[in-house]
Amino acid sequence: MGDHARAAGREIAAGPAPGEGAEELDLRGEVCPYTFLKARLALESLPEGGLLRVVVDHPTSARDVPRSLAAAGHAVLACAAIDGGAWAILTRRGPA
- Cite the active site residues: 32
Cis peptide before 33 (omega within 30 of 0): yes
**How is 4-72 classified by DSSP, letter by letter?**
-B-BSSS--TTSPPTTTTEEEEE-TT--TTHHHHHHHHHHHTSPTT-EEEEEE-SHHHHHHHHHHHHHT
